[in-house]
Amino acid sequence: MNLQFVKYFVALSETGNFTKAAEKMHVVQSAFSTGIKKLEEQVNCQLFVRDKKQVTLTYEGKQLLPKAKQLLTLWSDMETTFTNQEEKILKIGVVNELDFSTITSELKRFQEIHTQYQIEITEGSLEELLDALKRHEIHGIFTKTCISKDPLVEVRLLREDPLFLGVPEHHPLAKEKKISLNVLDGANMIKRHNCAFFNEVDGIFQQSGVTPNFIFQANSDDVAKALIASGVGMSLIPTSPQPYPGIKYIPVNGISLNRPIYFLWNKEHVSKGLEKFLY
């Protein structure tokens, strides 16, 4: 049995979506789907019920899931036992413009399988974290900025989060599936200064003749989300795999922007912990 296919199986059971599961495992969807199919052939049964909206476990899949998780944990323990001892700490840098909800799913996936590892988080500017990466003080960086010209730095696009309107869960608009851009004219909103699409969004407002009433300015997504959840106002903000309590995300007609999340690492400093995290 291919261990990677078992990892695919667990990822799909957790996400219920082939696209999201493939992104979680950092593989193209065609390779991911092939892996699931081969695993079903190996165990000689169907593991998932597939429909247009969601993928759910069959009875056989539900029986296999705890055993699959146990197998992955056992394999991780075996690797620990039969490899040279190393520092069991994965040191990750997070640019201070990102809120933690954008990366918790990645860290949780790693920690659930590799329970012997501690994860150490360092926050800072991209410039500070890149310096730390080159000095081998951290193993990798989560950022929304792609670094393509540095020969020492490897870059992986993890996912792209769409820019939606975040509204308080009890707001009248929270019931809408999609809204018109004109609805934001005169609406109480929170301006995000750290937004990667600040200029693009401002241009869209101007072209459409929409003038929101900006009542707060936030320098981080954490602050913006806290203000939205408290009912202060609304904001155009990227969605994330980890839901934020008290916020409903709604697509806006005329705004089709996606905030990328990248992971960077030093090609010359790939620890065993980083290998496990990447693959």
- pLDDT tens-digit profile of 8-23? 999 999 999 998 888 8
Does residue 53 have a pLDDT over 80?
no
Q: Strand, coil or helix: what is 93? A: strand
161-256 CATH fold: D-Maltodextrin-Binding Protein; domain 2 (3.40.190)
- Find the length of the chain: 279
Identify the pLDDT of residue 96. Answer: 85
Relative to beta strand 258-266, strand 153-168 is antiparallel
* 8 Å CB contact between 140 and 93: yes
Which CATH number is 3-81 given?
1.10.10.10
Band (pLDDT 50/70/90 cuts) for residue 86 is low
218 contact partners, CB below 8 Å, separation of at least 6: 190, 191, 192, 193, 194, 224, 227, 235
The Cα-based distances of 74 to 35, 162, 163 in angstroms read 21, 37, 40
Q: Which residues of 113-152 are buried (b: 16+ CB within 10 A; e: fewer)?
A: bbeebeeeeeebebeebbebbeeeebbbbbbbeebeeeee
Does residue 85 have a pLDDT over 60?
no
Look up residue 253 and give its two tokens: 């007609």
42-46, 127-131, 149-153, 185-189: which range is least confident on average? 149-153
Band (pLDDT 50/70/90 cuts) for residue 81 is low
pTM for the model: 0.65
89-159+261-278 CATH fold: D-Maltodextrin-Binding Protein; domain 2 (3.40.190)
115-160 pLDDT tens trace = 888 999 999 999 999 999 999 999 999 998 887 778 889 999 988 8
Angle, nearest 10°, between helix axes 29-43 and 18-25? 100
Question: Could you tell me the residue ranges of all domains in the chain?
Answer: 3-81, 89-159+261-278, 161-256
Does residue 80 have a pLDDT over 80?
no
How deeply is 99 buried, as exposed, middle or buried, from its count of CB atoms within 10 A (0-12, 13-18, 19+)? buried
Closest CA to 212 of 235, 240, 179, 230: 235
191-222 pLDDT tens trace = 987 777 888 888 899 999 999 999 998 888 88
Band (pLDDT 50/70/90 cuts) for residue 189 is very high
